[in-house]
Structure 1
Amino acid sequence: MVDNNIDELDTLPPKLSYISLTSEDQTNVASKIAIMNIDPLKSTSPDNQLTITNNTIPIFSIRKLYKNLIVLSISFVLLFTAYSGISTLQSSLNTKNNVGVNSLIITYAFLIFSSIAFIGICMDLFGLKFTMIIATIGYIFYTAANIKPLPVLMYISAALVGLAAAPLWTASATYLNQIARYHSQHKNQTHDISVSLFFGIFFALFGTTTIWGNLISYFVLHQSSVAQKINCGIYFNPTSASPTNTTQNVDDTTRYILCGIFIGMGLLSMLLLFLTLDSIALTQKQTMKQLLKKSLEVLLSLKKWKHIDQFFLIPITMWTTIETAFLTAQFTRGFITCLVGIRYVGLVMVCHGIFQALSSYIFGRLVKYTGRIFVFIVAALVNYAMIILMFLWEPKASQMVLLFVIAGFWGIADAIWQTQVIATYTVFYSETDPSALAKYRLWKSVGFVISFSYASYVTIRTSLILLLIYLSISMLCYAFVEIYRRWKEHSKKKCAIANAT
């Protein structure tokens, strides 16, 4: 979601791959792609302030390093438990005037902008700690807007989330990278080992946010179970369905309780960061002119395609967000809410989150032995099977178990797409195209915007047909990429042999 050095915002580090033995190795790669590699010249905390020279790097105590790691992890778990819980409900909770899904479109549209323009500026102006604190305000405002989901409030708050997301994740990744650097000095070990440890702990805790957010939704909405029960599944038409938030499906009291819990978690997250997280002050700052120039360079890099095969990775890159958007915006409303009521959205999505987390770990180990092509085929077959199942199924409330089956298997496929597509960019272009990550991020955001833009206007049947088309094109294009690169590699070997003789 975020990227590395201030001077190399979209550069993929060389010789890194998710195709590795352990999930810890994958985390190491993720961290190197996601962090900015800095050496601050001074560090401050509420208890002390250290001033140093270029030859001396301040090192927190081991205890303080772990304290900061846990504080940062818990703060993010609280914040994103709230955000994931409320965002998953948007297509079912705020359907009047399509406010919920429209807000998600706005978030991802503004995320594109913030990823390019806001990261370095915010960190130079506010520092790591206060960049994170300020960014949480946007998420809290979005959650609060759901109390009274007026379009103007929802759209402004959604834009704030989009603007805050990239600086938040970049600042947090930079902070983790730096305390990992201090840890490696304490332990007299390589920086990579400490980075793997710290990012591994952080993302292990962060990975539970979907589960907690959806569980909270389920228990708070347990009385809100008014379901349409007719014309569900492939027959569901969002343009003719009753607006959920204008019926008794979720009363005002229940909405206040749900949003109140999530707002409280967001505020607690912000307070934890403010009161207990030690500051790391950056002195390697750039001028505003340098930052704006860098943003322009990132934009211009999106026009430079050094490799023809990158064009054919666009469909599969967009697919990673199109399939996620379908589950979030359409499956939750057209299948779950329509068939058994909004209260079960959280419970079914908990199943999805558990299977996704387990599959990320399992396939992270399996891919070393099977290769990336095999796991892509597995993911595609799982998606094809679930799409066909949704086509053939005549939804009945007594067959509710199938909702869990679809969500669970979709989570398995999603885990593969989310980890292995970025791995493909890493393996193929880490040494040859510094703008590859910017393009990857751009096409993922475009995929979200496209999918959410029609989610509230077409039937589930139409969406499933589109999913089949998207997936088939993605796999065909990826097959071309593999064939092209193998042919290119074979040609290089033939040339090398010819030159040798």
Structure 2
Amino acid sequence: EEQASGQTMTASMGNNPDAEPRNGSANKTDANADSVYTVSVTGAYDNDGFKGDGDGVDRIVKKPRELTDEEASQQGKFKLSRSEKWRILKNVSAVSFAFMIQFTAFQGTANLQSSINAKDGLGTVSLSAIYAALVVSCIFVPTFLIKRLTVKWTLCLSMLCYAPYIGSQFYPRFYTLVPAGVILGIGAAPMWASKATYLTQVAGVYAKLTDQAVDGIIVRFFGFFFLAWQTAELWGNLISSLVLSNPHGGSAISGNETITDFDTCGANFCVVNTLGNENLVRPNDAEIYEISGIYLACIIVAVILIATLVDPLSR
């Protein structure tokens, strides 16, 4: 056995049994000719001095073949550039701000229903119709609509369903507000379903692109969405307050009105009496039309944002 530089070589020689030992150089030659060597090698090292001497064939390293788009899709892999990262963030931002504008209009309108449409409980009944239709729509409509229109265009159509309800504020009657509320409720379910589908799908692509956990990206995208969406209540009430508190709006009761009848003063004051609480008085039609016009424009802007800035999932 001979051991050198981490290499162990064992050689054993077996002589031909028919060969007889001979003396001299001829004997050595014959003995070597009849000998059988068995060599085993354990451990090895590369000797750069023998590279390229022609004894062996250099190993050819082949580059892996690039996958086609179809093969990559089947294996769940994505061929994306870094610009796709910013495109995805743009889509998430567009959806979030579109919903913020959309619900600025809806929440602002809904918060006024018990005041501006208090007669015969019209405003309250219309809100009840919205959520009753929403419950039924959640069961049947989202899957049906998304399969036929895709996620993006389901969003656009569903958001347009909010327009009739706000438009009905120009002529509030039971036969206008209640059917418009039903249309809104039917459209709300696929709108929320398509929004959740879109954010979840793009979060999965973004996670693969950035090599991050999918769950963490989904939570981050939904967190940003609801951050924008929750501010809609603030903007809606702010618009209503600015319009209704406008001193040039011609409200029903002026702040400088002199009351000569003192029956509602002091201990006789009653908050239920509209004469004692001007907040219970319906604003004049001009102010309601102004508010409704602003909110209706918000719906149109939100739909345009989705249609023009949001990329379809098929891309």
Q: What range is the shorter-chain TM-score in?
A: 0.5 to 0.7
Equivalent-residue separation in structure 2 for 1:65 and 1:222 (angstroms): 41
1:260 equivalent among 278, 293, 298? 293
Aligned CA distance change for structure 1 residues 119 and 237 (closer, same or farther; 3 Å): farther
Deviation at 1:197, TM superposition (A): 1.2
Aligned CA distance change for structure 1 residues 243 and 192 (closer, same or farther; 3 Å): closer
Deviation at 1:56, TM superposition (A): 4.6
The within-5 A match list for 1:100-499 is 100-223=123-246, 224=251, 226=253, 231-232=270-271, 236=272, 249-281=282-314
Alpha-carbon displacement from aligned partner over 1:86-134 (angstroms, at most 9, x marks no partner):
0011000111232111001111111110111112111111111111101
Aligned CA distance change for structure 1 residues 181 and 97 (closer, same or farther; 3 Å): same
User: What is the RMSD of the two structures over their aligned residues, measured on CA atoms?
Assistant: 2.7
Alpha-carbon displacement from aligned partner over 1:311-334 (angstroms, at most 9, x marks no partner):
xxxxxxxxxxxxxxxxxxxxxxxx
Q: Is the 8 A contact 2:252 2:284 kept in 1?
A: no
Q: Is the 8 A contact 1:81 1:213 kept in 2?
A: yes
Deviation at 1:281, TM superposition (A): 3.6
- Please name the residue that 2:53 is paired with: none
Gaps of 5+ in 1: 1-49, 283-501
Alpha-carbon displacement from aligned partner over 1:176-225 (angstroms, at most 9, x marks no partner):
01111111011101101111111111111111111110011100111447
For 2:74, the aligned partner's letter is N
Deviation at 1:242, TM superposition (A): 11
Deviation at 1:231, TM superposition (A): 3.3
Alpha-carbon displacement from aligned partner over 1:273-321 (angstroms, at most 9, x marks no partner):
1111100149xxxxxxxxxxxxxxxxxxxxxxxxxxxxxxxxxxxxxxx
Structure of greater Rg: 2
Gaps of 5+ in 2: 1-68, 255-263
Matched, 1:78 2:101: yes
Equivalent-residue separation in structure 2 for 1:213 and 1:158 (angstroms): 19
SS at match of 1:278: coil
Matched, 1:95 2:118: yes
Equivalent-residue separation in structure 2 for 1:269 and 1:181 (angstroms): 25
Aligned CA distance change for structure 1 residues 183 and 101 (closer, same or farther; 3 Å): same
For 2:212, the aligned partner's letter is Q
Alpha-carbon displacement from aligned partner over 1:338-369 (angstroms, at most 9, x marks no partner):
xxxxxxxxxxxxxxxxxxxxxxxxxxxxxxxx
Would you tell me which structure has more helix in proportion to its own residues?
1
Equivalent-residue separation in structure 1 for 2:90 and 2:252 (angstroms): 42
Would you tell me which structure has more strand in proportion to its own residues?
2
Count residues in correspondence: 225
Equivalent-residue separation in structure 1 for 2:303 and 2:126 (angstroms): 23
Equivalent-residue separation in structure 1 for 2:308 and 2:75 (angstroms): 30
Q: TM-score scaled by structure 1? A: 0.42
Equivalent-residue separation in structure 1 for 2:270 and 2:75 (angstroms): 70
Moved over 3 A (4+): 50-53, 56-60, 223-231, 241-244
Q: TM-score scaled by structure 2? A: 0.66
For 1:111, the aligned partner's letter is L
